């Protein structure tokens, strides 16, 4: 039996869905498209990967597995029929879709708002759960009263991108509980969490109940979650696993640069330079006649920041220093704010 959905205090069911959808436009119309697919008789849904590391892929997931993922998230975050959710993520990707499914299985009220860089600015009530991408959190904190905007959410879930050191430090002043998520389209959103602020702050992700992880021979994270229909899935993420089962992500296997036999993890270099400068940047491999590959860097931001960036680069180990450094007006991003790495350095 398809679940009803409470949208801005109005209950939508399969029987009144067409009436509710009539005349809807913009983000509400997109939500209507999702519900139409959810309420049909097909047990599967078509999902698109974000395309952050290559071309977007189309995969198929069962609605029952999506429900199982949603039920686990609601249990972990204590979300019930009395809760309220902010929906401010694009609905073409898994993060936005799963917010709707969590509201469907819990009976919570969902408050849709057009995805913007400051989605809580026009929210005049408190909500229990607000998933954001790091860019939304960072942009909100730059606004007057930005911290108070974030604190309209009891719990904030950050996903879909790297949380730089400066943002993580700013979030220590936010009274809301802030979590970072680890997951992907293939795992139906997050399968592990880490606390970003407060006394339980951690750099390691803790798998959700029913999720098991191990390392492959190549050092990449392998995930098992039978309730999601995942017997074992090997990711491209290089990781280290602690004795208690928590894990840290070191970078992506396909982001390793082999420069004269020296292995450079591109994302580690990015994190070091971003921490030192606060700039958005991207490091990748380009061919080099002598070394085979060398590191190249693209960065966006005010041109007057170049001296600080050059100084930060000079502090890196010699082989880790990008040999090519170029300023760009903007780095290519997906709709959820992820930098499209594959689109930059492919070919």
What pLDDT sits at residue 49?
A: 77
What pLDDT sits at residue 242?
A: 97
What pLDDT sits at residue 336?
A: 60
Domains of the chain: 5-252 (3.40.50.12780), 260-345 (3.30.300.30)
CB burial of residue 303 (10 Å; 0-12, 13-18, 19+): exposed
Distances (CA, A) of 152 to 129, 131, 140, 158, 166: 10, 12, 12, 15, 22
Tens digits of pLDDT across the chain (347 residues): 678 999 999 999 999 999 999 989 999 999 999 999 999 999 999 998 765 455 567 889 999 999 999 999 999 999 999 999 999 999 988 999 999 999 999 999 999 999 999 999 989 899 999 999 888 999 999 999 999 999 999 999 999 877 888 899 999 999 999 999 999 999 999 999 999 999 999 999 999 999 999 999 999 999 999 999 999 999 989 999 999 999 999 888 878 888 877 888 888 899 899 989 989 899 988 888 777 888 999 999 999 999 999 999 999 998 899 999 999 998 887 766 667 766 555 54
d(CA 194, CA 197): 9
**Diameter of the chain by CA atoms?**
68
Sign of the four-CA dihedral 126, 20, 15, 45: negative
d(CA 270, CA 257): 13
Of the candidates 33, 34, 32, 37, which has an alpha carbon nearest to the alpha carbon of residue 20? Answer: 32
d(CA 191, CA 187): 7
What pLDDT sits at residue 345?
A: 59
Instruction: Please report which residue ranges of 61-214 form alpha helices under DSSP H.
Output: 63-77, 94-106, 134-142, 146-150, 165-170
d(CA 272, CA 267): 9
Beta bridge partners of 12: 5
């Amino acid at each position: 039996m398809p679940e009803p959905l409470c949208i801005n205090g109005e209950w939508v069911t399969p029987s009144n869905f067409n009436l509710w959808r009539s005349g809807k436009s913009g983000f509400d119309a997109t939500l209507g498209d999702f519900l139409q697919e959810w309420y049909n008789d097909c047990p599967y849904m078509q999902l698109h990967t974000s395309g952050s590391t290559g071309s977007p892929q189309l995969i198929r997931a069962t609605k029952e597995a999506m429900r199982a993922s949603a039920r686990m998230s609601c249990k972990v975050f204590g979300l019930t029929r009395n809760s309220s959710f902010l929906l401010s993520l694009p609905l073409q990707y898994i993060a936005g879709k799963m917010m709707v499914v969590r509201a469907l299985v819990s009976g919570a009220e969902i408050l849709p708002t057009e995805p913007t860089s400051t989605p809580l600015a026009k929210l005049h009530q408190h909500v229990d759960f607000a998933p954001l991408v790091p860019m939304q959190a960072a942009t909100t904190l730059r606004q007057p009263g930005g911290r108070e905007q974030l604190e309209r959410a009891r719990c904030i879930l950050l996903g879909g991108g790297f949380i730089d050191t400066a943002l993580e430090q700013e979030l220590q002043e936010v009274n809301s509980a802030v979590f970072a998520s680890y997951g992907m389209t293939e795992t139906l959103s997050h399968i592990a969490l880490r606390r970003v602020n407060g006394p339980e702050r951690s750099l390691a992700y803790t798998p959700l109940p029913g999720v098991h992880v191990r390392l492959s021979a190549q050092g990449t994270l392998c995930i098992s979650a039978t309730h999601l229909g995942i017997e074992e899935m090997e990711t491209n993420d290089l990781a280290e696993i602690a004795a208690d089962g928590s894990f840290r992500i070191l970078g992506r296997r396909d982001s390793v640069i082999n420069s004269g036999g020296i292995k450079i993890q591109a994302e580690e270099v990015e994190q070091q330079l971003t921490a030192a400068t606060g700039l958005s940047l991207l490091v990748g491999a380009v061919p080099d006649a002598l070394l085979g590959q060398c590191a190249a860097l693209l960065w966006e931001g005010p041109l007057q920041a170049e001296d600080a960036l050059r100084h930060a680069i000079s502090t890196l180990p010699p082989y880790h220093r990008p040999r090519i450094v170029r300023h760009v007006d903007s780095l290519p991003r997906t709709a959820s704010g992820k930098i499209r790495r594959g689109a930059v350095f492919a070919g």
